[in-house]
Amino acid sequence: MKLKTLSLILLSALFIISCGGDKKDKTPVSKTEVKVETPSDPMQDKGIGPVKSITLGDLDQALADQGKEIFTLKCSACHKISKRVVGPALKGVTTRRSPEWIMNMILNPEGMVAENPIAKKLLAEYLAPMANQNLTHDEARAILEYFRTKE
């Protein structure tokens, strides 16, 4: 009987020690800030899609002429150079968007309006999704050259 009482006391003592111990050793978890990468300069935004890096040389007028033809065929239903229609006016687009962004918008409009902050904003403003015209990389590059003549 005595032993039982003793062990009961011991058990309670243990219980109190384990629960009542001070919590000094529990240092608070420091909160590290997670920064979301949204470049404030739109010219640094390359967009999302197959085009990772483009280096522009001197204007290639023959390529620009090719681009104009493709633009007239595939884009002019929704875009004019100097006037907003279904989509934005494209005059000066090469001065407000990076070459990679422009080509990714042409080659991957669905991905762009879903994930790229600038394209998302445009969709919210224009309310019509830009259509994927299934162009090749070279066709998109030619249109980019044409846009360079419309700065």
Q: Smallest distance from the beta carbon of 46 to ligand HEC, in angstroms? A: 13
Contact 142, 74 (CB under 8 A): no
Indicate whether 113 belongs to the interface with ligand HEC (CB under 6 A).
yes
Tokens coding 44: 């640094």
Give the C-alpha separation, 25 to 47, whole Å: 47
Smaller CB separation from ligand HEC, 6 or 121: 121
Count of residues of this chain found to bind ligand HEC when the rule CB under 6 A is applied: 26
Contact 151, 96 (CB under 8 A): no
Residue found by looking up tokens 């890096």 in the block: 53
Which of the residues 67 through 96 are near ligand HEC (CB under 6 A)? 71, 74-75, 77-79, 86-88, 90, 93
Residues that bind ligand HEC (CB under 6 A): 71, 74-75, 77-79, 86-88, 90, 93, 97, 102, 105-106, 113, 122-123, 126, 128-131, 133, 135, 143
